Chains A and B, each alone.
Chain A
Amino acid sequence: MNVLLKTLTFSLALTLLFTFVTYLLPQVKGEAPVEKNVDLGSLTMEDFIALGDDIFHNKGTCTLCHKPAPLGRAPDIEGENMVALAEERLADDRYNGEARDGEAYIRESMVDPGRYVVAGWGKKGSNDSESPMPHVDKPPIQLSPMEIDAVIAWLQSKDGNVVTVVLPDPEVAVEVASAASDGGDAGKVPAPAATAEEALARYACVSCHALDSRNVLVGPGLVDVGARLDKDELRQSILDPNADVAEGFPPAMPPDFASKMTVKELEMIIEYLAEKKG
């Protein structure tokens, strides 16, 4: 029994020692890429570039290989001016792609990396004729065209170059989304409202506020709200309705519009209401 106790203690202690080693190491989680809902209605170029930055460092897994020497297994894209390099490579004899400008070159290098292999970085033994890089629009990376555009925008902007990528057009994006989804829209964020009336209907403003009279439904009528409040006050009363409740009314207005409305929708509503002066 003594032997059993000794050996068990020894084995257990050794096991715990190994466990302890794992605690000394950085505790990093490798999250699976999350589907992000980008709000195209309020998307600015800055957001778009930030999105590209994020994709490059996370979902795109680009930094697994593209990192500074001596750790990198592919050119250090982050440290190089890709726009200038793209021009050089387009002029190179070894280039066999179809791109005519820098933006097209960068896109091509992502979806068909074999078109131009940077000297020294080809597949082992292929003498730089084959690229080891996966096609980023295919699994397992599977970036959407919009995400690829975002990465291009970031690559162009990070060295102070002109961003030539155009922002994704909400209407086009909506069409693409509905074509792709094939019914069963559950769980998808609907496209942002196109007009102020649509937005007012969507957020159910009209169920409590009369828009064309002073009649009180639940909240005050809004026909003359533009005369009572200026734009900033309007904005505040929507985003933080309970800060200043109109006299005689219960604080019943939902306080969560700030997180539901797009910036564009909010601005449309404010413009619309500001015009209502009686």
Chain B
Amino acid sequence: MKQKKFSHAGGLFFRMLRLFVMLLFAGVSLPSLAVADDGAVNTQERIAPVAEVRLQGQPPVEMVAAPAQKKAQVVEPEAAPQPSRKDYPNVGISSRAIVWVLAQMHLFFGALVLAVPLFVLMIELVGVFTGDDRYDDMAHEFMKISLTGFSITAIFGGSLALALFMLYPDFMGYMMHVFGAQVLVYALMFFFESFFLYVYYYGWNAFRYGNLKWVHLTLGLLLNASGLTIMLLANSWATFMMAPSGVNEVGAVVGNVWEIMKGPLWNPINLHRFIANIGFGGAVVGAYAAFKFLSTGDPAKRAHYDWMGYTSNFIAILAFLPLPFAGYWLMAEIYAYSQQMGITAMGGILAWLFIVQAVLIGTILLAGNFYLWSGMSRTDGSERYKGLIKIIAFVLVVSFLIWVTPHTLILSAAEISLLGGSHHHILGPLGIMPAKNIAVNLMLIATFLSFQLYRRSDKVATVGWAPLGNALLIGVYVAAVANIVFLGVYFGYFTNTVYKVGSSVAQVGTTLVVIVFGLVIDSLMFRNARVLSSHWGRIPDRSQYALFALPIAFTWLMALMGYVRSSVKTHWHVYTVMKDNSPDNFIPTIGYAGNMITLVTILFLLCVLFMFWVANLSGSRQAKPEPVVGGVA
């Protein structure tokens, strides 16, 4: 019975199959048969152009390539195009401004969504090793609030690409020609990124414990790997524009894509962006925590968001401290690649932007320190360090003033016209780099001291050599400050430029020694330390504004430095290879740049607000409306 049914079903199947094959065959063969009936029509004529008119008996006109222009391209097929001004489409608004805004927005969100998974993974790991579920929940929350950021990044990235292809067709054509299939790899990475992102985020609670947690951590690692690859690929475009490699002096490709990517500035930019992204991401999610902290009166929630804000600030400042060193490496490589480019950045018109940079970094350091000091009220053991904080604050403010004052405010219009893209002779001895180097290193050391005190504030050392350890630490700080001041003053003002520049490396080295010594001594000294109680949430409301100042200053700083990085190319699309002949090929005034940067910062602020709002939307649920009793009055 069963057998029969099967065979019956089988018979039906084969009949259906036969019918299908017949239909298929007929579908393919009928049209061709119909054409064959016509006889005269053959394939050759079907694909030939319809309207070719020629005299009877004459041979057909040969198709020739368009003359002169094509020929020139054959001689030098790969050289970079040199478009003239009329080759740049004009849409009525400055093309540069359009690309500026889109690129910066794309980079802001790109930086955010690259950084967040990175430290989320770290926090998740900490959660696994400590077994403390609070870490896991916080990591999950960080992911939640930045999830929309991935789409926003993609939206701005797509808009940027369209804008570039429309407004700078020759330039983009050249870039595509140079990088070729690499851009497709870039696109491919986005599939990986999205895949891992969604599995990582939505699988958080599904893969929460045991071996599955390790699957989840692996997913996070792969998410970060694809994100980082995306960043490295995109960085290679930017560094190729600054310091082209793998092409000859007219821009013809002579190397493979690896040689093109691996320009002299690629790795410095990679490192610098990697570190800065973490700081930036930490600062932005810190603002979220601060906002939630301020919006709630519930002590449990306040404790949670205080802790979240503290962690974010910790990430931001920790990433921020090594940033000047990465920046120093980048600048050194720029000088090594082209002294002219380096001086355009640090000694020409753009040098003035570093004053603004000083203000921003000063803001970041002061805000970070202020937050650390305010946070000491959480612990009972912080009284011991109150006196030192006054000294730190003093050092910070004095260094900050040295860093900022000398250049500004003393220039009349006549002096500006004298300036001509160079330093002014009135610049006092404080205006040149040595004084600033001293100031910035002292600020970093002071900030590290704040950080160290904060870490100590809830602990009492119990090891026998604690007094000696403290004495050694005092020695480290005092000697380091003396060394930094000596190096700056002696080499900066009494020797030649080469030694002046060299001595700043020694200054930075000194600062690094302080940080390393401080971390090592403290970690040894506070082993088995007595821990005093600390109270999360016990922090004044005003401290939270430091957590808003941080991302604002970070965002502004990032836009500013990105602008400097792009501007050192001056009037070149690709430095020394492809000239920028567009109407916007000049370096705008600082005020104009400031307006643009403020515009993108505010746009970013609004988009981030949207991102946070959407994140909170998913957690809220509208109450079902009560059925209305009675009619309308």
Contacts and interface: CB of A to CB of B under 8 A. Distances in A.
Q: Do chains A and B touch in the complex (CB under 8 A)?
A: yes
A138 B586 contact: no
Contact of A73 (B493, B497, B593): B497
Nearest to A23: B591
Interface string A1-35: 00110111011101110110111111111111100
B598 A61 contact: no
Contacts of B422: 63-64, 67, 71
Given A3-B291, A58-B420, A63-B422, A22 B601 contact: no
A29 B497 contact: no
A68 B423 CA distance: 11
Interface stretch (B148-156, B437-445, B545-553): B545-553
B586 A73 contact: no
Nearest to B296: A3
B90 interface: no
Contacts of A7: 287, 290-291, 294, 545, 548
Interface string B348-384: 1110100110011001000000000000000000000
A137 to B, nearest CB: 12
B343 A18 contact: no
Interface stretch (B50-58, B191-199, B512-520, B570-578): B570-578
B595 A19 contact: yes
Contacts of B556: 15, 18
A124 interface: yes
Interface in A18-65: 18-19, 21-33, 57-58, 61, 63-65
B598 A28 contact: no
Contact of B502 (A124, A139, A183): A124
A64 B347 contact: yes
Contacts, number: 160
Nearest to A14: B552
A69 to B, nearest CB: 8
A32 B291 contact: no
B418 to A, nearest CB: 10
A170 interface: no
Contacts of A31: 586-587
A24 B408 contact: yes
Interface in A219-277: none
A268 B159 CA distance: 60
Contact of A27 (B339, B359, B591): B591
Given A14-B553, A18-B356, A29 B602 contact: no
A219 to B, nearest CB: 37
B419 A26 contact: yes
B590 A33 contact: no
Interface-central residue, A19, A25, A132, by most chain B CB under 10 Å: A25
B10 interface: no
Contacts of A30: 348-350, 421, 567, 570, 586-587
Contacts of A208: none
Nearest to A134: B340
B585 interface: yes
* A16, A70, A124 — most chain B CB neighbours (10 Å): A70
B124 interface: no
Interface residues of B, number: 71
Interface string B272-299: 0000000000000001001100110000
Contacts of A14: 363, 548-549, 552-553
B580 interface: yes
Contacts of B347: 64, 71, 73
Nearest to B606: A8
Nearest to B582: A32
A139 B556 CA distance: 33
A72 interface: yes
A176 B587 CA distance: 32
Do most interface residues of chain B lie in helix, strand or loop, or is the interface mixed?
A: helix
Contact of B577 (A8, A139, A141): A139
A233 to B, nearest CB: 40
Given A18-B356, A18-B359, A29 B416 contact: no
B336 to A, nearest CB: 9
Contacts of A8: 605
Contacts of B598: 15-16, 18-19
Given A19-B595, A28-B421, A73 B602 contact: no
B448 to A, nearest CB: 25
B594 A22 contact: yes
A15 B497 CA distance: 36
A120 interface: yes
Contact of B420 (A19, A24, A32, A57): A57
B496 A120 contact: yes
Interface string B66-95: 001000000000000000000000000000
Contact of B419 (A4, A28, A32, A72): A28
Contacts of A160: none
B95 to A, nearest CB: 15
A65 B343 contact: yes
A183 to B, nearest CB: 8
A75 to B, nearest CB: 11
B249 interface: yes
A32 B343 contact: no
A73 B287 CA distance: 44
A23 B594 contact: yes
Given A3-B294, A19-B597, A139-B577, A25 B352 contact: yes
Interface string B526-552: 000000000000000000010011001
Contact of B548 (A11, A33, A73, A132): A11
Interface string A113-137: 0000000100010000000111000
B594 A19 contact: yes
A70 B407 CA distance: 16
A238 B340 CA distance: 48
B489 interface: no
B590 A22 contact: yes
A34 B423 CA distance: 23
B411 A63 contact: no
A70 B339 contact: no
B249 A138 contact: yes
A61 B605 CA distance: 39
Contact of A64 (B340, B356, B588): B340
12 contacts: A15-B598, A19-B595, A25-B352, A25-B407, A26-B416, A28-B349, A28-B416, A70-B432, A70-B497, A71-B347, A140-B338, A140-B572
Given A22-B594, A26-B415, A70-B497, 18 more contacts: A7-B291, A11-B548, A11-B552, A14-B363, A18-B556, A21-B355, A21-B359, A22-B597, A23-B590, A25-B356, A25-B590, A26-B416, A28-B421, A57-B420, A63-B422, A67-B423, A73-B347, A138-B576
Interface of B: 68, 249, 287, 290-291, 294-295, 338-340, 343-344, 347-350, 352, 355-356, 359-360, 363, 407-409, 411, 415-416, 419-423, 425, 427, 432, 493, 496-498, 501-502, 545, 548-549, 552-553, 556, 567, 570-572, 575-577, 580, 585-591, 593-595, 597-598, 601-602, 605
